[in-house]
């Protein structure tokens, strides 16, 4: 297959596997999504979804959030890891949303990325999932799969994001980034990877990745 055929194969296979796409992080509006995505850094979505109901029961909007102390927020979110930084970020960004944006999450990459503890990936998730703006947030799952599928040589998520935006149609970005995340978790994980179940990599994968897999799993071939 040439590159365009491989891209089409990825799009069609993912659409078949995920006719409806589950949203990984539970939320009810842009603010609760922003907080959930911030908490998900170096933490599983499952763990975040266990913690956010406890936090949002006390504060599901910036006005209630700033009534809590950083220490109180930190105690609730501690199981998510990086709680000192994340609690300061949540408290600080809630103040900024009230002071600068009327208590609303801004629909702008620029303003989102100015918020404490909010990087480009977090802003991209909020823009795509809360506001429907085309974005292609790249996490470690997407970075790994794009490399395995020989669709990028990117050494980092920045380059992989550029490549993804170049090769996939813009109108599919918001769906595709979620589909690839789910596919990576279910069929092409970093650990416990079974190539026989990973139809996309097995069909179009980078030769060096497949050869390396079979060196480690000679019985599977």
Any idea which residues carry the catalytic annotation?
121, 139
Determine whether 184 is exposed, middle or buried from the number of CB atoms within 10 Å of its CB (0-12, 13-18, 19+).
buried
Name 187's Cβ contacts closer than 8 Å, sequence gap at least 6: 197, 198, 199, 200
Contact criterion met (CB below 8 Å) for 33 and 27 = yes
Cα angle 136, 139, 201; round to 5: 90
Contact criterion met (CB below 8 Å) for 65 and 59 = yes
Of 215, 189, 218, nearest to 201 (Cα)? 189
> What six digits make up the tokens of 144?
């790994």
Q: Name the residue with tokens 């998510």.
A: 80
Contact criterion met (CB below 8 Å) for 202 and 195 = yes
> What six digits make up the tokens of 186?
């279910």
């Amino acid at each position: 297959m040439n590159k365009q055929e491989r891209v089409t194969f990825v799009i069609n296979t993912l659409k078949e596997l995920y006719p409806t796409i589950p949203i990984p992080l539970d939320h009810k509006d842009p603010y609760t999504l922003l907080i959930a995505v911030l908490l998900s850094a170096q933490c599983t979505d499952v763990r975040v979804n266990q913690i956010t109901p406890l936090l949002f029961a006390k504060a599901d909007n910036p006005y209630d959030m700033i009534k809590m102390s950083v220490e109180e927020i930190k105690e609730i979110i501690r199981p998510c890891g990086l709680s000192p930084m994340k609690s300061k970020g949540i408290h600080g960004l809630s103040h900024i949303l009230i002071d600068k944006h009327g208590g609303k999450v801004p629909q702008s990459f620029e303003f989102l990325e100015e918020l404490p503890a909010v990087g480009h990936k977090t802003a991209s998730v909020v823009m795509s999932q809360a506001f429907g703006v085309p974005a292609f947030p790249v996490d470690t799952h997407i970075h790994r799969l794009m490399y395995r599928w020989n669709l990028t040589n990117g050494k980092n998520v920045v380059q992989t994001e550029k490549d993804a935006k170049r090769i996939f149609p813009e109108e599919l970005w918001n769906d595709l980034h979620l589909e690839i995340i789910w596919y990576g978790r279910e069929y092409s994980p970093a650990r416990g990877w079974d190539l026989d179940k990973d139809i996309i990599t097995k069909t179009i994968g980078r030769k060096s990745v497949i050869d390396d897999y079979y060196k480690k799993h000679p019985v599977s071939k």
